[in-house]
């Protein structure tokens, strides 16, 4: 039965009327026009769809909208814009840390969650935090360098 | 930033072809065509798209619009081409607006494939922009007085010696560039470049990191509906029955479109389409044809026994060459492998008043348009294909097929844009695969320890089945319609690029060589272009046998390669990669000795991609766990020579990404398939390299300002696989000849140790 949900997304309350079982990913992308989270597998295997709910990384492709409740959702759009990227996004830009960039959303959101709980991670801690995220173009080392750069505040 | 830059003086560099046995003789010619009736041969893609206005427009508002038929795949090509145009025109990089492949706007440059974009589109743009610059200066000279040769340009502002000035934006006219290019204005010489050779930031990146709509998957049009296609459980299956009424009763279902064995659900909302697809898969009854045996079923036999078309790819004999005193021979194989892009294919199509517009991540929008028009019985003029980026593209993936799915559905639901998104299992089961291959390679060693004879025999399915042929329709859904259309006969890509035999001809100076091809056009599974086509497997085989022969000769692998190579640029990348890695002859690995749980070793691999694109050498360091059989690549070094490097960091990114992807192919990747069908459906079935498994990578880009730019996007795949194989042998004293190097194969190879 379609139900009205009021979601707190990137600091704004947004209402949608959908089936409670609808994966959050489709609500974000299709109803709220937030296309930063990507569909990659729909099975919580690749990480391209990651968002933060109350600061925790969640796979929105399998997360029912009905389970969000009062949770605070942060998507990549909530971090910064092309004109005003966040420090983390800027670090990714400086390291040119992608090829196709399709996995970047998940990488950045996982890094955001990591840096919130561990502002000075080691290289192996960064890799461990990203282990559940797949990249096919082979940008892994640049991604790790970007997260470390952001953690060191080594930004111009 | 791992790209180290080094300029190499020209003194060491042989004239192209002088030191090469093969490849160069077939290299694309830039010479003028013979006879005055035939039009002058113009450089790069300018030859097929001869109007200057097809390439650029200098706008009165202070911007330049540059058109390319090549597409952005995340390889940074749109940025690199903007960099070239800005440099040749002497305008700021930010003034350039790029328009990429669109059948209604841009030149037709064929496919964005084969690492050819800088060679083709970049060359065209260098000449077109140089000529436009000359024309703008002539117009400025007329306005300012004096000679155009005395004028200077800075960011589009043209200054005369006396201080008078004007701008491109003031002197440009609509008509100015509406004429055929002559290629008489020379592009800038080495040393005159201001932007070429700089590490400019890619322009496609900021939206990708901030959630900007960057991909065709993100396209949302007013009134758009969501579709999913119910594909058969196995190739060539027929849809026997389907309760479409039950599907139509589901929430949000607008239409169930069925044409023969092509069936799709079209819904108002995306999650409704996914739910309807799940129901469709349960309701549909399909025939279950058995897959014929494939090449991989013959890997345990010395000779594959399959229907093949046999041909000699290349043969060279030197009657005065020494006699071989020792023969080394081995057979190598490669599994079916996948593009396995992170984002499954997607397309949007809109049929409005008989005009069909398709947004697609295809690598070839003109070819796609041609096949779509043929399949739908439309004129190409009534079909527009517009490229938008998709997730990582490493060749002919599901993009064209998804586009045709969307086109079929848009025709069934005119007026509303239809978005088709393949699910993860659709992509794994229906993307065109990289062909399994088998290579039997032999070397004859002379008494002096040099190779005198070389034989390379390969078995392969097609590597080229893209749309755009003169006949047939190479679009998946077309073969399942009630009135099925036939695919084009898959012809192997001829040399000098080669398809199954790409890079099968070694670059080494072996006096006697024979390369044989057993091509199998009749493939049980659809195979097509995956990054490097046959080159990855052929280089793996050649470079593995080089090391096996080198071991028999008791030589060092670097020295042994150099001994057989006169091409100075080839030698330089091998020497550079070895030097970076701290290569120590005689100390390459444990050789299976020692009592620890881990063996370590290093190996080298080299190729010049297609024998006429970039040179690349890779050194890999591996650790082999003798208990688990797990091979890890811990570090890798590479040197690459792509001639004039437009954006060295872009090259480094391509090479390091290629090295990591190739390590993944080599260590982990194989399609799961048997007579009952394909069993690779999720990432569980097709693991790829993860962060903890990725090697540290260093890339040295050798800048050669006076040389032509060479394609680089696929340069690392072959050398990396080979370097890993050779490092494994150095580590363990045993050899793996079958890709991928799965733990069970490793344990079998180490068994008696």
Average pLDDT of chain A to the nearest whole number: 96
Q: Which residues, in sequence order, are bridge partners of residue B459?
A: B438, B518
CB contact under 8 A, A100 and B74: yes
Q: Which of A96, A108, A76 is nearest to A137 (CA)?
A: A96
pLDDT for B40: 87
ipTM: 0.97
Q: Which of B96, B62, B85 is nearest to B170 (CA)?
A: B62
Q: Rounded to whole angstroms, how far apart are CA atoms B218 and A32?
A: 12
Confidence of residue A156 (pLDDT cuts 50, 70, 90): low
Average pLDDT of chain B to the nearest whole number: 93
Q: Rounded to whole angstroms, how far apart are CA atoms B524 and B676?
A: 12
Task: Look at residue B728 and tell me whether its pLDDT is greater than 70.
Answer: yes
Average pLDDT of span B35-46: 79
Whether residues A91 and A71 fall in one domain? no
Whether residues A70 and A98 fall in one domain? no
Q: Which of B493, B499, B504, B427 is nearest to B718 (CA)?
A: B504
pLDDT for B212: 83
Q: Which of A96, A151, A27 is nearest to B269 (CA)?
A: A27
Residue B208 contacts A where some CB pair is shorter than 8 Å: yes
Q: Rounded to whole angstroms, how far apart are CA atoms A88 and B257?
A: 45
Nearest C-alpha in A relative to B346: A39
Q: Rounded to whole angstroms, how far apart are CA atoms B279 and B269?
A: 16
Whether residues A8 and A60 fall in one domain? yes
CATH code for position A104:
1.10.150.120
> How far is the alpha carbon of B15 from chain A, nearest alpha carbon, in Å?
34
Q: What is the DSSP letter of B365?
A: H
Phi, psi (rounded to 5 degrees) for B547: -70, -35
pLDDT for B753: 58
pTM: 0.94
Average pLDDT of span B251-255: 97
Q: Which of B465, B367, B477, B478 is nearest to B420 (CA)?
A: B477
Residue B391 contacts A where some CB pair is shorter than 8 Å: yes
Helix (H) or strand (E) holding B634: strand B631-641
Domain's final residue, options A32, A52, A78: A78
Can you point out the beta strands (E) in B335-423?
346-352, 355-360, 383-387, 418-421
Least confident of B11-20, B176-185, B581-590: B11-20
Query: Nearest 5°: CA angle at B715, between B665 and B513?
Result: 95
Strand, helix or coil for residue B559 = helix
How do residues B75-101 score in pLDDT, each as one tens digit? Answer: 899 999 999 999 999 999 999 999 999
Residue B209 contacts A where some CB pair is shorter than 8 Å: yes
Residue B7 region, left (φ>0) first, then alpha (ψ -120 to 50), else beta? beta
Whether residues A107 and A45 fall in one domain? no
pLDDT for B370: 97
Nearest C-alpha in A relative to B389: A100
Whether residues A12 and A64 fall in one domain? yes
CB contact under 8 A, B270 and A30: yes
How do residues B441-484 score in pLDDT, each as one tens digit? Answer: 999 999 999 999 999 999 999 999 999 999 999 999 999 999 99
Residues of chain B neighbouring A36 (CB-CB closer than 8 A): 210-212
pLDDT for B630: 98
Strand, helix or coil for residue B404 = helix
Q: Which of B730, B699, B727 is nearest to B715 (CA)?
A: B699
Whether residues A30 and A8 fall in one domain? yes
Phi, psi (rounded to 5 degrees) for A79: -85, -45
Residue B278 contacts A where some CB pair is shorter than 8 Å: no
Nearest C-alpha in A relative to B205: A93
> How far is the alpha carbon of A110 from chain B, nearest alpha carbon, in Å?
13
Domain's final residue, options A16, A45, A78: A78
Least confident of B102-106, B607-611, B726-730: B102-106
Can you point out the beta strands (E) in B36-77?
56-58, 64-67
CB contact under 8 A, A98 and B206: no
Two tokens at B682?
A: 């999720």
Q: Give buried/exposed letters for B529-559 (b at 16+ CB in 10 A, else e).
A: bbbbbbbbbbbbbbbbbbbbbbbebebbbbe
Dihedral sign from CA coordinates of A24, A27, A30, A34: negative
Residue B73 contacts A where some CB pair is shorter than 8 Å: yes
Q: Rounded to whole angstroms, how far apart are CA atoms B34 and B40?
A: 8
Q: Rounded to whole angstroms, how far apart are CA atoms B323 and B89?
A: 58
Confidence of residue A94 (pLDDT cuts 50, 70, 90): very high
Residues of chain B neighbouring A131 (CB-CB closer than 8 A): 690-692
Burial class (CB in 10 A: 0-12, 13-18, 19+), B300: exposed
CATH code for position A56:
3.10.20.30
pLDDT for B18: 30
Residue B697 contacts A where some CB pair is shorter than 8 Å: yes
Phi, psi (rounded to 5 degrees) for B502: -60, 130
Task: Look at residue B580 and tell me whether its pLDDT is greater than 80.
Answer: yes
Two tokens at B467?
A: 């749309």
What torsion do the CA atoms of B643, B644, B646, B650 make, to the nearest 10 degrees? 30
CB contact under 8 A, B657 and A22: no
Residue B236 region, left (φ>0) first, then alpha (ψ -120 to 50), else beta? left
Phi, psi (rounded to 5 degrees) for B314: -165, 140
Whether residues A71 and A98 fall in one domain? no
Whether residues A71 and A41 fall in one domain? yes
Q: Which residues contact B665 (CB under 8 A, 6 or more apart)?
A: B337, B536, B717, B721, B739, B740
Q: Rounded to whole angstroms, how far apart are CA atoms B411 and B415?
A: 9
pLDDT for A153: 81
Confidence of residue A28 (pLDDT cuts 50, 70, 90): very high
Average pLDDT of span B500-506: 98
Q: Rounded to whole angstroms, how far apart are CA atoms B670 and B662?
A: 13
Whether residues A59 and A115 fall in one domain? no
> Could you say which of B209, B217, B658 has the minimum Cβ distance to residue A92?
B209
For the beta sheet containing A3-9, the strands, ordered from the edge strand earlier in sequence to the opposite edge, are A12-18, A3-9, A72-74, A50-53, A56-59
How do residues B388-431 score in pLDDT, each as one tens digit? Answer: 999 999 999 999 999 999 999 999 999 999 999 999 999 999 99
B 658-687 residues with CB < 8 A to A: 658-661, 664, 682-684
Whether residues A7 and A62 fall in one domain? yes
CB atoms within 10 A of CB A62: 15
Q: Which residues contact B297 (CB under 8 A, 6 or more apart)?
A: none
Residues of chain A neighbouring B636 (CB-CB closer than 8 A): none
Residues of chain A neighbouring B3 (CB-CB closer than 8 A): none
Two tokens at B88?
A: 């040749």
Domain count, chain A: 2
Q: Rounded to whole angstroms, how far apart are CA atoms A103 and B689?
A: 14
CB contact under 8 A, A96 and B202: yes
CB contact under 8 A, A96 and B688: no
CB contact under 8 A, A141 and B697: yes
CB contact under 8 A, A39 and B344: yes
Residue B629 contacts A where some CB pair is shorter than 8 Å: no
> How far is the alpha carbon of A40 from chain B, nearest alpha carbon, in Å?
5
- Which domain, by its residues, includes A111? 87-152
Task: Look at residue B156 and tell me whether its pLDDT is greater than 90.
Answer: yes
Q: Rounded to whole angstroms, how far apart are CA atoms B478 and B371?
A: 10
Confidence of residue A154 (pLDDT cuts 50, 70, 90): low
> Could you say which of B75, B204, B210 has the minimum Cβ distance to residue A80?
B210
Whether residues A64 and A117 fall in one domain? no
Q: Rounded to whole angstroms, how far apart are CA atoms B366 and B373?
A: 11
Whether residues A144 and A97 fall in one domain? yes
> How far is the alpha carbon of A77 from chain B, nearest alpha carbon, in Å?
5
How do residues B624-652 score in pLDDT, each as one tens digit? Answer: 999 999 999 999 999 999 999 999 999 99
Average pLDDT of span B12-24: 30
Dihedral sign from CA coordinates of B401, B402, B407, B413: positive
Residue B400 contacts A where some CB pair is shorter than 8 Å: no
pLDDT for B162: 87
Strand pairing class (B253-259; B262-267): antiparallel
Two tokens at B76?
A: 């940074």
Residue B270 contacts A where some CB pair is shorter than 8 Å: yes
Q: Rounded to whole angstroms, how far apart are CA atoms B523 and B368?
A: 22
Domain's final residue, options A78, A99, A130: A78
């Amino acid at each position: 039965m379609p139900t009205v949900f009021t979601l707190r997304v990137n600091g704004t309350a947004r209402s949608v009327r959908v089936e409670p079982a609808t994966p959050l990913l489709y609500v974000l992308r299709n109803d709220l026009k937030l296309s930063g989270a990507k569909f990659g597998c729909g099975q919580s295997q690749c990480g391209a769809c990651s968002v933060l709910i109350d600061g925790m990384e969640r796979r929105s492709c399998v997360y029912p909208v009905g389970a969000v409740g009062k949770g605070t959702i942060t998507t990549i759009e909530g971090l910064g814009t092309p004109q005003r990227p966040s420090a983390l996004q800027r670090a990714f830009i400086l390291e040119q840390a992608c090829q196709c960039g399709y996995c970047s959303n998940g990488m950045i959101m996982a890094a955001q969650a990591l840096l919130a709980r561990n502002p000075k991670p080691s290289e192996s801690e960064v890799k461990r935090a990203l282990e559940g995220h797949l990249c096919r173009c082979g940008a892994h080392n640049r991604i790790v360098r970007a997260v470390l750069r952001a953690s060191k505040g080594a930004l111009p | 930033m791992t790209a180290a830059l080094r300029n190499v003086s020209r003194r060491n560099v042989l004239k192209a072809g002088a030191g090469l046995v093969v490849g160069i003789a077939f290299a694309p010619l830039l010479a003028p065509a013979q006879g005055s009736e035939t039009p002058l041969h113009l450089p790069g893609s300018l030859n097929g798209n001869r109007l200057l206005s097809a390439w650029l427009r200098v706008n009165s508002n202070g911007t330049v619009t540059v058109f390319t038929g090549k597409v952005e795949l995340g390889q940074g090509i749109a940025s690199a081409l903007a960099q070239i145009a800005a440099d040749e025109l002497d305008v700021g990089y930010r003034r350039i607006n790029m328009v990429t492949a669109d059948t209604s706007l841009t030149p037709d440059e064929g496919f964005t494939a084969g690492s050819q974009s800088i060679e083709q589109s970049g060359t065209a743009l260098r000449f077109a922009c140089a000529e436009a610059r000359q024309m703008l200066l002539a117009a400025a000279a007329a306005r300012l007085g004096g000679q155009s040769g005395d004028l200077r340009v800075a960011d589009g502002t043209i200054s005369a010696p006396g201080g008078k000035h004007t701008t491109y934006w003031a002197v440009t006219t609509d008509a100015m560039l509406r004429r055929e290019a002559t290629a008489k204005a020379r592009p800038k010489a080495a040393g005159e470049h201001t932007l070429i050779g700089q590490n400019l930031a890619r322009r496609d990146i900021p939206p990708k990191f901030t959630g900007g709509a960057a991909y065709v998957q993100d396209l949302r049009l007013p009134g758009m509906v969501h579709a999913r296609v119910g594909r058969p459980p196995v190739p060539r299956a027929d849809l026997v029955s389907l309760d479409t009424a039950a599907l139509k009763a589901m929430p949000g279902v607008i239409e169930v479109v069925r044409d023969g064995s092509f069936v799709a659900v079209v819904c108002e909302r995306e999650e409704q389409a996914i739910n309807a697809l799940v129901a469709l898969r349960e309701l549909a009854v399909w025939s279950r044809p058995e897959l014929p045996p494939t090449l991989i079923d013959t890997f345990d036999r010395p000779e594959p026994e399959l229907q093949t078309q046999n041909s000699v790819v290349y043969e060279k004999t030197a009657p005065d060459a020494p006699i071989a005193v020792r023969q080394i021979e081995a057979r190598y194989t490669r599994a079916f492998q996948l593009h396995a892009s992170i984002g499954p294919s997607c397309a949007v199509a809109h049929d409005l008043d008989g005009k069909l517009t398709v947004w697609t991540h295809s690598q070839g929008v003109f070819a796609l348009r041609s096949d779509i028009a043929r399949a739908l019985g439309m004129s190409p003029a009534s079909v527009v294909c517009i490229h938008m980026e998709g997730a990582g593209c490493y060749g002919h993936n599901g993009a064209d097929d998804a586009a045709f799915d969307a086109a079929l559905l848009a025709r069934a639901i005119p007026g509303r844009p239809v978005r088709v998104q393949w699910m993860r299992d659709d992509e794994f089961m229906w993307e065109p695969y990289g062909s399994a291959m088998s290579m039997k390679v032999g070397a004859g060693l002379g008494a002096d320890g040099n190779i005198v004879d070389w034989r390379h025999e390969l078995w392969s399915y097609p590597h080229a089945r893209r749309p755009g042929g003169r006949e047939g329709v190479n679009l998946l859904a077309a073969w399942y319609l009630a009135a099925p259309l036939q695919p084009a006969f898959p012809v192997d890509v001829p040399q000098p690029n080669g398809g199954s035999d790409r890079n099968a001809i070694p670059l080494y100076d072996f006096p006697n060589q024979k390369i044989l091809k057993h091509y199998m056009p009749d493939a049980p599974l659809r195979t097509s272009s995956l990054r490097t086509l046959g080159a990855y497997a052929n280089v793996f085989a050649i470079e593995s046998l080089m090391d096996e022969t080198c071991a028999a000769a008791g030589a060092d692998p670097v020295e042994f390669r150099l001994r057989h190579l006169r091409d100075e640029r080839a030698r330089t990348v091998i020497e550079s990669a070895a030097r970076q890695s701290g290569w120590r002859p005689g100390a390459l690995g444990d050789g299976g000795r020692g009592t620890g749980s881990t063996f370590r070793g290093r190996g080298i691999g080299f190729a010049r991609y297609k024998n006429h694109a970039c040179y690349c050498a890779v050194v890999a360091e591996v650790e082999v766990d003798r208990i688990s059989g797990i091979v890890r690549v811990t570090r890798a070094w590479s040197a690459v020579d792509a001639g004039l490097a437009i954006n060295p960091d872009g090259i480094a990114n391509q090479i390091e990404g290629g090295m990591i992807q190739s390590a993944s192919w080599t260590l982990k990747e194989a399609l799961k398939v048997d007579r009952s069908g394909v069993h690779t459906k999720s990432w569980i079935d097709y693991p790829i390299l993860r962060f903890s498994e990725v090697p540290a990578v260093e890339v040295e880009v050798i800048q050669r300002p006076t040389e032509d730019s060479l394609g680089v996007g696929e340069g690392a795949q072959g050398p990396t696989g080979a370097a890993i194989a050779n490092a494994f042998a150095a580590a363990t004293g045993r050899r793996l000849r079958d890709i991928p190097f799965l733990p069970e194969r490793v344990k079998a190879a180490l068994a008696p140790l």
